Chains A and B, each alone.
Chain A
């Protein structure tokens, strides 16, 4: 969870804004609609910069402070844009006891970024995640929706090279 304000300028399009307005209109009157709307907004924009949160707050008649409170509470809401390839290494127990911490450290070393950060070219972002439920393949990581299992630290470079 990162509450840092992003340094990347907001570049939302008209189409994205239309899509968000439609989602808000559809869900506005439902009970507890804020989170579903925010989740869909993140699908549209890829992350939830303050501009998008303001649109949600205005559109739903909810104070911005509450929207911000929710977006900073849940780890899945990103206030910063993610890389084109989002790497998440499982640091759940089953993966950890099989050495996923070493895999994570290796990726940090190769990419030169820490968890929660994005490479300067916007290509890779790295996060630790909690159990993707593929414990049979531990240790695992995901790059976007693809799962890589039974990893060793030495496998990392070869996998990352595929994206170059």
Chain B
């Protein structure tokens, strides 16, 4: 399969404002529903992502290998894109004997990486989530909405965050993030 046949929703578009962001390269993502307290599930997750079972609302690892808590019985796993199909199959195989759902959802979402000192201020323009560092520390996987769409994001570090949304609304998300990041729009609330 040649790379030219892969089209992410935004073709890797980006914007540089007081916060800069770009759509990331195709990323492998796997949806897993099952009993998160089950040891076999935890082992399978570790085998697929190299990461341990995340606590509620947390993500272990990141885009190149990560496990994010999505609900009491759901995880979103991140794996290298080229290995997504293989690891989905392996995960399904590992969980074949128990009640679980495994699906390759690599193509379902658009993903962005955002960087900047005023990142929290920028996101607070678009989401009702509490962006204070105490409530939303690094590694907190926040499912919420961005403007009028569903989205999830997490801080990898204080000035770096990743955000995912459904691919059909990637343009809308891009435009929202762009206007919120326009120079002159710094709020100086979370970061002065």
Q: Do A and B interact?
A: no
